[in-house]
Chain A
Amino acid sequence: MQEQFNEIFIRYHEIITLGVYGTSIALILIGLYAVLIKKNLVKIVIGLTIMDAGIHLLFVGIGYIQGGTAPIFSPGYENAADRMVDPVPQALVLTAIIIGFAITAVALSLIIRLYKHHNTAKIDQIKFLKW
Chain B
Amino acid sequence: MKKVLVIILLITIGYFLVETFVDIPFGENRIGNIDANNNTVAGYYLSNTIEKTKVANVITAIVVNYRGLDTLGEVTVLFLASTGLASILYRRKEEEEDVERLNLPSSRLMRTGIRVLFPTIVLLGIYVFIHGHLTPGGGFQGGTIVATGFLLMLITYKGFNTNHNRMAWIESLAGLSFVGIGIWGLLSGNTFLENSSEVGVLNSLISGGLIPVIYIVVGLKVAVELTGILDILLKIKPKK
Whole-angstrom distance between the Cβ of A49 and the nearest chain B Cβ: 15
Chain B residues bordering chain A, tally (CB within 8 A): 55
Is there an interface contact between B58 and A66, defined as CB atoms closer than 8 Å?
A: no
Interface class of chain B by DSSP? helix
Q: Is B18 an interface residue (CB 8 A)?
A: yes
Is there an interface contact between B85 and A32, defined as CB atoms closer than 8 Å?
A: no
Q: Is A126 an interface residue (CB 8 A)?
A: no
Chain-A contact segment, one of B76-84, B107-115, B156-164: B76-84
Q: Is A44 an interface residue (CB 8 A)?
A: no
Is there an interface contact between B77 and A88, defined as CB atoms closer than 8 Å?
A: no
Q: Is B98 an interface residue (CB 8 A)?
A: no
Contacts of A110 in B (CB 8 A): 88
Is there an interface contact between A37 and B81, defined as CB atoms closer than 8 Å?
A: no
> Which one of B17, B41, B135, B136 has the greatest number of beta carbons of chain A within 10 Å?
B17
Contacts of B233 in A (CB 8 A): 109
> Which one of B9, B26, B28 has the greatest number of beta carbons of chain A within 10 Å?
B26
Contacts of A13 in B (CB 8 A): 25-27
Is there an interface contact between B50 and A78, defined as CB atoms closer than 8 Å?
A: yes
Is there an interface contact between A86 and B24, defined as CB atoms closer than 8 Å?
A: no
A72 and B136 in contact, given A16-B26, A32-B10, A98-B78 (Cβ under 8 angstroms): yes
Contacts of B186 in A (CB 8 A): none
Is there an interface contact between B88 and A109, defined as CB atoms closer than 8 Å?
A: yes
Is there an interface contact between B135 and A72, defined as CB atoms closer than 8 Å?
A: yes
Is there an interface contact between B24 and A62, defined as CB atoms closer than 8 Å?
A: yes
Is there an interface contact between B77 and A102, defined as CB atoms closer than 8 Å?
A: yes
**What residues of chain B have their CB less than 8 Å away from a CB belonging to chain A?**
2-3, 6, 9-10, 13-14, 17-18, 21-22, 24-31, 33-34, 41-42, 45-47, 49-50, 56-59, 62-63, 67, 70-71, 74, 77-78, 80-81, 84-85, 88-89, 135-136, 140, 202-203, 229, 233, 236, 239
**What residues of chain A have their CB less than 8 Å away from a CB belonging to chain B?**
9, 13, 16-18, 20-22, 25-26, 28-29, 32-33, 36-37, 58, 61-62, 64-66, 70-75, 78, 81-82, 84, 86-88, 90-91, 94-95, 98-99, 102-103, 105-106, 109-110, 112-113, 115-116, 119
Interchain Cβ contacts under 8 Å between A and B, 18 examples: A16-B27, A17-B27, A20-B26, A21-B22, A21-B26, A28-B17, A37-B2, A65-B30, A73-B50, A73-B202, A82-B33, A87-B58, A90-B59, A94-B63, A98-B77, A98-B78, A102-B77, A105-B229
A-B pairs, 4 with minimum CB distance = A66-B27, A102-B81, A17-B26, A71-B58
